[in-house]
Amino acid sequence: MPSKMFALTNFLFRKLLLFAIALLFVMGCATPPIPPPAQSSEQEKQAVRPRPQQKPVDAKAQKHYYDQGLQYYSAEDYPSAKEAFEEVVALGPNTALGLKAQENLKKIETILKTLDELESK
């Protein structure tokens, strides 16, 4: 008798579990979409206002200066590398190369600062 009771309890538990999972799935998929928040009149004015045109990035020149900066960096000519990376940033600060150049400039600044400290001792 206990094995029949266990089998029945196990069967009912599995059915209940499947029902709960199905219910959670359906309820999760059936949620109504959330409307976007209403914009104030100031936000509407800003949304309508045309954005200033950004000058196109000369990717070829930017790559040239980036590669040049890497060569100077590898040769430990940090002032020249700094100038090359600054040119990359000037050509396009928000491009992938512009962001990498900014990271390299931070490294170079640290190196130059350390070298100055060593020379002053």
Phi, psi of 48 (to 5 degrees): -80, -30
Check residues 5 and 33 and name the one with the higher pLDDT.
Answer: 5
**pLDDT of amino acid 91:** 93
Supply the pTM of this predicted model: 0.55
**pLDDT of amino acid 27:** 61
Q: How far is CA 31 from CA 7, 19, 25, 53, 60, in A?
A: 37, 19, 11, 40, 49
Write out the two tokens for 41: 């009149």
Residue 114 has pLDDT above 80, yes or no: yes
Q: Are 84 and 68 within 8 A, CB to CB?
A: yes
Residue 108 CB neighbour total at 10 angstroms: 19
pLDDT, tens digit, for every residue of 30-69?
A: 455 667 776 666 666 565 565 555 667 888 999 999 999 9
Which of the four pLDDT bands, split at 50, 70 and 90, describes residue 2?
low
Q: Which of 74, 109, 111 is nearest to 89 (CA)?
A: 109
Q: How far apart are CA 8 and CA 80, in angstroms?
A: 81
Q: Are 86 and 68 within 8 A, CB to CB?
A: no
Residue 110 has pLDDT above 80, yes or no: yes
For the chain, give me the number of helices (H) and strands (E)? 5, 0
Q: How far apart are CA 79 and CA 72, in angstroms?
A: 8
**pLDDT of amino acid 106:** 96
